[in-house]
Amino acid sequence: MFKVEMLSTGDEVLSGQIVDTNAAWLADYFFHQGLPLWRRNTVGDNADDLVAVLTERSLEADILIVNGGLGPTGDDLSAEAAARAAGVGLEEHPEWLAKIEAYFARRGRPMAASNRKQALIPAGSEMIDNPVGTACGFALRLNRCWMFFTPGVPSEFRHMVEHEIMPRLRRQFTLPAPPVCLRLTTFGRSESELAQQLDALPLPQGVVMGYRSAMPVIELKLTGPALQGDQMAALWPRVREAAGDSLIFEGTDGLPAKVAGLLRARGTGLALAEQFTGGLLSLQLGRAGAAITHGEILPARSETLAQTLVRAQNLARQNQVPGLVVSSQQADGVNIALATGEHSGAMRVVLDNPRHSPALCQEIAAMLALNMLRRWLEGQPLTAQGGWVAPQAVLNGE
């Protein structure tokens, strides 16, 4: 098994001034290539610290992806640190310098002298092309470790990993088959409640049952080696059964994408009227490719559950597509109603938990509305009981 690691560089990453999205992306991408990360480190813009961590990891890791520090400014130190760790000097790469000069010439801009720094790479290292930026990458072998140095700009980093680094790794190593990871997401159940049902499952060798809590959902993951794929598939129905009515989607695409796909399969659009969610449903479903026939933001007003249901029924009748309504927040909750022409129903839910921010309460209301729509599209009753988001009141229409 290869020890694959990532080293993120930069004071802004270390101090939390920016979120390290490159690390999250690489971990997910490499996992699906059969190269799950063993370790991730972050170091600031200090040359001595960089040299120390590069030397240390070169004795432990087989593959190290170093991200950031290849820009033209004084705090971009990755090439210098790599050269010091390897005991070599920096050499100007004429081919890359010509590319930088051409890059600025095409844009009609003068090239600053500091940009020449981006053509300096450690002697004996291999240049890695970057067709979408001015910072070239490079690869070098230090002790037992192959190190790949990449720019921090996400678009440049991802292109380099996918089109330059992965092909090199496939040529250089016999990579294992990617692990199998089966996922489903639940809504309205606690992590401890789910674990109580699932921890007793007899798992095949090397297979792990995982839980990821990200309010308001819990993701269940069954992860294991490819050779256990058949056994994992045979066990998966028991995970679905434990999730029960709280299961809202499988895979990683998300509930809006799931609902949008079901709407397309049925050949229908959707009419939306929102108040508490403030257009969040329209945004989520629109991004997922659903046909929003009608969308409006309602003025704040107090209304009964029956009135919200009538509003949804009128919306469906006027637009000849399902109508989904989210009311204002009232003292006793938020009303959510769906009318489809053949079925209609409404529920009131209480969203006044002091631990939940207003934005999270909006997310919860949007998820409840999407789940009501999903349940209809999959032939289930519109509402489900149980869990911490159980409806306070339910009203079924004709």
* Residue 35: per-residue pLDDT: 92
Q: What does pTM read for this prediction?
A: 0.78
CA distances from 188 to 26, 195, 243, 325, 337 (A): 31, 14, 10, 21, 19
**Which residues fall within 8 angstroms of residue 276, CB to CB, at 6 or more apart?**
326, 327, 328, 329, 334, 361, 362, 365
Alpha helix locations (H) across the chain? Answer: 11-14, 21-31, 47-58, 78-86, 94-106, 154-160, 166-172, 191-198, 229-243, 255-266, 280-287, 305-319, 358-377
Residue with tokens 């016999």: 174
* Residue 216: per-residue pLDDT: 84
* Residue 352: per-residue pLDDT: 73
Tokens of 147: 């190190």
* Residue 58: per-residue pLDDT: 98
Calpha distance 268→293 (Å, rounded): 9
* Residue 382: per-residue pLDDT: 86
* Residue 341: per-residue pLDDT: 83
Q: Are 221 and 183 in contact (CB under 8 A)?
A: yes
Q: Are 248 and 367 in contact (CB under 8 A)?
A: yes
CA distances from 332 to 247, 329, 356, 359 (A): 26, 8, 16, 19
Q: Where are the beta strands (DSSP E) in 68-144?
A: 90-92, 120-122, 126-128, 137-142
Which residues partner with 9 through β-bridges?
43
* Residue 387: per-residue pLDDT: 66
* Residue 188: per-residue pLDDT: 85
Q: What is the DSSP letter of 253?
A: S
Cα torsion angle, 383, 386, 387, 393, sign: positive
Tokens of 129: 């092309």
CA max distance for the chain: 79
CA distances from 330 to 138, 327, 348 (A): 59, 9, 10
- Estimate the crossing angle of helix 47-58 against helix 78-86, to 10 degrees: 50
Domains of the chain and CATH, by start: 4-172 (3.40.980.10), 180-250 (3.30.70.2860), 255-396 (3.90.950.20)
Chain centroid to Cα 342, Å, comes to 36
pLDDT one digit per residue (tens) for the chain, 398 residues: 789 999 999 999 999 999 999 999 999 999 999 899 999 999 999 999 999 999 999 999 999 999 999 999 989 999 999 999 999 999 999 999 998 988 888 889 988 888 999 999 999 999 999 998 889 999 999 999 999 999 999 999 999 999 999 999 999 998 888 899 999 999 988 899 899 999 989 999 999 999 998 888 999 999 999 999 999 999 999 999 999 989 999 998 999 999 999 999 999 999 999 999 999 999 999 999 999 999 999 999 999 999 999 999 999 999 999 999 999 998 778 999 999 988 899 999 988 777 788 899 999 999 999 999 999 999 998 887 656 676 777 888 75
Q: Are 347 and 375 in contact (CB under 8 A)?
A: no
Calpha distance 301→314 (Å, rounded): 17
| 277, amino acid identity | T
Cα torsion angle, 287, 291, 296, 297, sign: negative
